[in-house]
Amino acid sequence: MILAEWVKSAIDAHVALRFEEHENDDVYAGLDVADEGGDRNALALRKGVVLRAVDQWGERDTGVTARRAIDGVSGHKRVSVQYDSIGVGAGVKAETNRLNDDGLMPKGVEFVSWNAGAGVLDPERRVIDGDSESPLNKDFYTNLKAQAWWELRRRFERTHRAVTEGIKYDQDELISIPSDLPLLRTLQKELSQPTASKGTRMRLVIDKQPEGTRSPNLADAIVMAYWPVGDGVYDSMDWV
């Protein structure tokens, strides 16, 4: 799905390509909620298109997980936390609702439900903008998960070509992973783990956990952070 060499090229890409960074760059986070067995919670935060923080932990209490995620995104004026709302993730919503009702939610922090099985964003748009031969999103992707992983793949591919071939892209279409980020090797492995295939309806299907592998929780958190739902991918959000 995402080649290991593409991920390698993205390490410190913001330095190699001299990304412009601004104080008011949008901040997004992805929260993958632990499910069962040896699964772990994972949090990823980006500012602009640079991944700035990752964390993982084994807590089963979704209330504790929600509060730890809030601590993990503190220090930013505004941040949208896209959280895995399927199954046990519903407990995160219950806790954030309680914090909001009690006036305890930090100002500028917003939790947004991210359902991997939901329909794709912009279903009537072409997979490749401006190419009338390109399929519509609704005909190419099985669900939001497939669309988000494919779009992350495209970020890594563009970044690889920008770094290795000098091809120019809009910075917003790229991705960078700082070399001093904790859990870097785990990230590299997880990002290259999922595979892609066509389902029975000839739409893209993602297998995040091929046989013999563990759930790529950190990578899932990154996927959510880089494909936020709601007001669109690159549009500015309305903050209350």
Q: 167-216, pLDDT tens digit by residue?
A: 999 999 999 999 999 999 999 999 999 999 988 788 999 998 887 788 89
User: What is the structure's pLDDT at 35?
Assistant: 81
pLDDT tier at 231, thresholds 50, 70, 90: very low
Establish if 232 belongs to a structural domain: no
The CA distance from 149 to 172, in Å, is 17
User: What is the structure's pLDDT at 230?
Assistant: 67
Establish if 153 belongs to a structural domain: yes
Establish if 236 belongs to a structural domain: no
pTM of this structure: 0.92
Establish if 40 belongs to a structural domain: yes
List beta partners, residue 177.
11
Establish if 222 belongs to a structural domain: yes
Q: Report the amino acid identity of residue 214.
A: R
Establish if 235 belongs to a structural domain: no
Question: Are the C-beta atoms of 20 and 171 separated by less than 8 Å?
Answer: yes
Domain span at residue 129 reads 4-226
DSSP conformation letters of the chain:
---HHHHHHHBTHHHHTT----TT--EEEEEEPP-STT--EEEEEEETTEEEEEEEE----HHHHHHHHHHHTTTSS-EEEEEE-SGGGHHHHHHHHHHHHTT-SPTTEEEEEE-TTSPPSSTTSBSSTT-TTSPBHHHHBSSHHHHHHHHHHHHHHHHHHHHHH-----GGG--BB-TT-TTHHHHHHHHT--EEEE-TTS-EEEESS-TT----HHHHHHHHHHS--SS-SSSPPP--
| Total structural domains within the chain | 1
CATH assignment at residue 69:
3.30.420.240
Establish if 240 belongs to a structural domain: no
User: What is the structure's pLDDT at 88?
Assistant: 87
Establish if 239 belongs to a structural domain: no
pLDDT digits (tens, 9 = 90+) for 49-62: 999 999 999 988 99
